[in-house]
Each structure stands twice: as C-alpha cells, then as structure tokens.
Amino acid sequence: MTRVPPSPRKRKPIHILSSFLFLFITAVEFSCASSQHFLTSEQTTLLNLKQQWGNPPSLRNWNASSPPCNWTGVHCNDNGSVEWFELMSKGLTGHIPPFICDLPNLRNLFLSDNFLTGEFPTVFYNCSKLVEIDIAHNGFFGRFPDDIDRLSGLMWIDVGGNNFTGDIPPAIGNLSALMYLSLDNNLFTGSIPSEIGNLSNLETLYLSSNNLEGEIPSGLLLLKKLDSLTLYKNNLSGRIPSVIQSLDLIEIDLSMNKLNGSIPKDFGKLQQLEVLNLFSNHLSGNIPTSISQIPTLKNFRVFKNNLDGELPQEIGFHSKLETFEVFENKLTGKLPENLCGGGTLLVVAAFSNNLTGEIPRSLQSCHSLDTILLHDNSFTVSWNLSRLEISDNKFSGQIPDSISSWTELSVFKASNNLLSGEIPTSFTSLSQLSVLHLDRNSLSGELPSEIKSWSSLTTLHLARNKLSGPIPQAISYLKGLLDLDLSENQFSGEIPPQMSRLRLSTLNLSSNKLTGRIPFAFDNLAYENSFLNNPDLCASASSPISNLHNCYTKSPHSQKSSPKIIAMIVVLSAFIILVAILCTMIVYRLYLQKKHKHIVDLTAWKLVEK
C-alpha cells in the first residue's frame, strides 16, 4: 500500500510553527547569555570594590559563589541589577574608585561612618542615575568641587563629619531637585551662598559646626518646603531675617553664633515648630508674644543673650512644652503661670535674670518636672507646699527661714545642691515632715536638738556635708524614724545610747569622728557596715561586727602608737646603758692612773732608803 504524502498546504503551518520556535529559543538563549554576562560584570565590579575597600570582614559574603543581590548591603532592582548600597559602619577603608560607576543602575549610595579618605569623589559625575549620596563621618578632605552641579539629578547629599574646607560653592544652588543638604561638622569658611535660596524643593539644611560667617541669607527662610534649619556653632552675624515663609519648619537652631537684633515676630507663624534654639548669641529686645501661640512648641532655648522685658505669660499654655531655658538674660516680671500646662515640662532654667513675684503654683503639681534652676533672681514663695523636690540642681545659700511657714510640707528633697550654713532651728517646726534629704551639700554646724519636733519623720539623709558636734540625744525621740544617714560628716563624741529605742532599718554613721562603744541594739550583723571609718568606736567582746575592735582591748589607734613608745624606751635604755659604760670606763681609768702614781712614788722612796 502506497502512503500518500501530505499536500504542501497541509505542511505549511508546521513549517511556520517550527520557524517561530527556532527564533524564540534563539532569542531566549541570547537574552539569557546577555543577562548572565550583565550579572557577571556587576559581580566583578563589586568584588573589585571589596578589594579596594580593604576586604573588611563585614563583607565576608561578597564572593563569587552567590549572586550579588544576596550580599550584605547590596540592593537590586526587579531586573537583578545593583541599584543601591547600604554600607554604613562596615569598616571600609581607602578611596572611592572610578569603576564604581560601572554599576549602570546605581542610584543610592550610603557609605557613612567608615574610614574612606580622599577629596570629594568627582567620579560620581559618571554615575548617571545617582540621586542619593551619603558619605558622612569619613575622612574626606579638601575643597568642595565648584562644578558640583554636574550631579544634576541629585536629591540627597550628606557629607557631614568630614574635613572639607574652603567656601561652599554657589553652584550647589543649581541642584534643583535637591531635598536634603547636610554639610555640617566640616571646616567650611566664607559665607552661606545666597544661591541655596533657589533650592525650591529643599526640606532639610544642615550647615552647623563650621566656620561660616556673614549674615543669614534671607532666601533661606523663604523656602516653602523647608522643615529643618540648623546653622548653630558658626560665626554668623547680623540680624535674623524678619520675613519667614518657611511655614513647614519643625526645627530652627541658630545657637552659638554672633547674631544680634531682635527675635522675629514671624516665628509665631510657624504652627508646626517644635524646636527653637537661639541661645548664646547677642540677641536683644523682648521675646515676642506670638511665640507663646505656637501649638507644637516643645523646646524653647534662648539663654545667654541680652533679652529684656517680661516673659510671654501664655507660653506653655498652648503647647506641650518640655524645655524652657531663658537663663543669663535681663528678663523681668514673673515666670509664666502655665509653663507646665501641657504636663510634659522637664526643665525650667531661668536663673541669673531680674525675675520677681511668686514661683508659679503650677510647678508644685508638675510631676514631669526634673530640673528647676531659678537662683539669682528675686522670687518669693507664698504657697504652702506639701512636697518639694529640688535635688540635683545648683541652689545655693542658706535654707531660708520662710520654709518654716510651709506647715503642710511632708517631703523635702534638696540633695546634691550648693546649700550652706546651719540647719535653721525654725526648720524643725515642720511637724508634718516625713522625708528630709539634704545630703551632698555644704551644710555646717551642729544638728539642732529641736529636731525632736519632727515627730512624723521616717527618713533623714544628711550625708556628705560638714556637720559637726555630737549626735543629739533628741534624735531618739523620732520614734517613726526608719532610715538615718549621717555619714561623711564631722560628728564627734559617743553615739547616744538612747538611739537603741529606734527601730532603724537603715543606719549609716560611717566616716565621722565618733568615739566609745556602740549601743547594744546596734551590735549585730544588720549594722555591720554602719560604723566604718570611725577608728575610735568599739564593740563588745562578743560582737559579730569584725570591723570594730573590742572595747576591752587597746584600740587599733592605740596599737598603732605602741611601736613608737617601745622604740623610745629602747633608745632611752640604750642611752642610759651607754652613759653607764662611759662612766665606768672613766672611773676605772682614774683608778689605774692613781695606782700607777702610787707605785712610782714607792719605788722612789725605796731608792732613797738605800
């Protein structure tokens, strides 16, 4: 049987399909080959970078056995091509080489906090897609390039914490896409280029800690998208621009410069402002009342200026204020009543002004308050407190007698200040006082016997002062006393035996000049460390306290002097013996001389007799 071959028309579709499949497979193979070559090329570039940067241990997994997209700090796009580095704090050393731009899709480069050196890497000009550069906190140096605008697509640049010098180039104002500019903590000199005011997309500008001088360009505060402006620690002078249109500002720090003139009223228009730092300048005039209307203000710091007039009385009322520092000015009037209106106030520092009036009652109930510095003013306190905590400040002078009028005072903590003088007798009239902390001051004199009036006292801390004299017997009347610390003073004499009546859970009398036997009630291990560094204290023969000597034996102090006495006795005895020997020798010698003379005379007499 003869097989009939298929007609040409029937073979045609098969032929076309075969041709299509051949072309598709060929294209796929070519594409895969190109992709493989592409990836191999980027992998080679990365391995060369690793070698250039000192083969740091942090890049241990940068090796040929795995694809680059899995390597530490390497991020790829959807096509598997390297798009950005995240190599902060990886111990990189050396320079940035030109072949870094062999990565054709590199967009973001984060290399901060390493040990890279050299001048600004102009090799970046060849990275056509680069939009973010962060080489902060390395060892770069030299002048910033005048043609920096060749990085025309740049949106972010941070070179802070290096050693760049010279002027900031005006060309930086041509980077129209720039949103973030940080040149802080370098050695830049000259003035701030007014061209920066052309950066209409700029949101963050950090130029602090340089040697910049001249005035602040008015255009900076006209940038409508600007939210952070820090120019602190330079040599800027002149006035702060009075017209402010950067209404998105959250932070303004112009501190530690040489700015003069007044604080602009336009600051009050910044309804998102949280931080306003203008301290350590030469500003004068009043603090604008408009600032008290800012609803977001948290930190207000204008200390060390020449500001005068009264403080805005509504400050703290409309915002959750945390820091209020206005010290070392010429301010007058009262402290604002509502400083702690938001309940978040941590620090009030208004010392060294001409403030008067009462300390605001709101500070009495401000539980968030950690530090209050109000000395060197003319404040009065007429409200009756039940609790006052002013520890860890710089209050100086004597404890005022007026405190005795606070009849409801139950807790008074003033540790670690500069208080001096004696504890006033009038202070002992506070019968409600339960906790008293006056340790770490410079109080002197004797502890008044009138302390027996502190009938409610449970805690008494007077350590590390200069108190002297005997411990008053009246302390035994404080029947509720549980915690007593009189250490590191100059108390002397015996410990009153009446103190045995107290049921103390904590007792510290260390480092004083106490003498005699400790009361029997304290002669147990619970008080083993209560009497350290009192060399003339002693305990009973059966005492378990090993650091006190037995009262029925010589004290360690006496024992220390025994060798001296023995030595003196030995020396004196030796001297007496020596004198006796000398006397004996002299007498014996005289005897021999007399005997010899007698013999001679006798011989002569005998000769005559012949």
Cα separation of 46 and 51, whole Å? 9
Judged against a pLDDT cut of 90, whether residue 206 lies above it is answered with yes
Cβ neighbours, 10 Å, residue 399: 21
Q: How far is CA 116 from CA 102, 138, 256, in A?
A: 19, 5, 30
Could you tell me how many helices (H) and strands (E) the chain has, helices first? 2, 41
Span 142-179, pLDDT tens digits = 999 999 999 999 999 999 999 999 999 999 999 999 99
Cα separation of 251 and 228, whole Å? 5
Cβ neighbours, 10 Å, residue 592: 10
Q: How far is CA 103 from the centre of its chain?
A: 43
Residue 44's Cβ-count burial label (10 Å; 0-12, 13-18, 19+) is middle
Share of residues in the chain with pLDDT > 70 (%): 86
Helix, strand, coil shares, percent, the chain, to 5: 30, 25, 45
Looking at residue 4, its pLDDT comes to 36
Q: Which residue has the higher pLDDT, 304 or 33?
A: 304
Q: Which residue has the higher pLDDT, 74 or 550?
A: 74
Q: Which residues contact 75 (CB under 8 A, 6 or more apart)?
A: 69, 82, 83, 84, 85, 86, 108
Confidence of residue 383 (pLDDT cuts 50, 70, 90): low
∠385-389-393 over CA atoms, to 5°?
130
Q: How far is CA 433 from CA 436, 535, 582, 593, 596, in A?
A: 7, 34, 77, 94, 98
DSSP E strands, 422-558: 435-437, 442-446, 459-461, 466-470, 483-485, 490-494, 506-508, 513-517, 536-539, 549-550
Max mean pLDDT range (28-37, 383-392, 566-575): 383-392
Cβ neighbours, 10 Å, residue 581: 10
| Arch. (CATH architecture) of 384-561 | Alpha-Beta Horseshoe (3.80)
Using alpha carbons, select from 249, 238, 246, 178 the residue that is nearest to residue 212: 238
Cα separation of 156 and 87, whole Å? 16
The answer to which of 10-14, 434-438, 497-501 has the lowest mean pLDDT is 10-14
Which helix or strand (DSSP H or E) is residue 328 part of? none
Looking at residue 560, its pLDDT comes to 46
The SS3 of residue 604 is helix
Q: Which residue has the higher pLDDT, 524 or 570?
A: 524
Looking at residue 329, its pLDDT comes to 98
The SS3 of residue 458 is coil
β-strand partners of 359: none
Confidence of residue 197 (pLDDT cuts 50, 70, 90): very high
Q: How far is CA 175 from the centre of its chain?
A: 38
Confidence of residue 400 (pLDDT cuts 50, 70, 90): confident
Cα separation of 236 and 283, whole Å? 13
Tokens of 518: 């400790």
Tokens of 501: 């009546």
At 343, the amino acid letter reads G
Confidence of residue 567 (pLDDT cuts 50, 70, 90): low
Cα separation of 239 and 419, whole Å? 41
Sign, CA dihedral 282-285-287-290, equals negative
Confidence of residue 19 (pLDDT cuts 50, 70, 90): very low
Cβ neighbours, 10 Å, residue 585: 10
Cα separation of 510 and 502, whole Å? 18
The size of the chain, in residues, is: 610
Confidence of residue 122 (pLDDT cuts 50, 70, 90): very high
Tokens of 511: 């480092």
* 364 DSSP 8-state letter: T
Span 332-348, pLDDT tens digits = 999 999 999 999 999 99
Judged against a pLDDT cut of 50, whether residue 423 lies above it is answered with yes
What phi, psi does 258 have (nearest 5°)? -125, 35
Looking at residue 580, its pLDDT comes to 73
Looking at residue 2, its pLDDT comes to 36
Tokens of 351: 């010392």
β-strand pairing of 108-110 with 132-134: parallel
- Give mean pLDDT, residues 465-491: 96
Sign, CA dihedral 402-404-408-413, equals positive
Q: Which residue has the higher pLDDT, 598 or 216?
A: 216
Looking at residue 378, its pLDDT comes to 83
Cα separation of 132 and 155, whole Å? 6
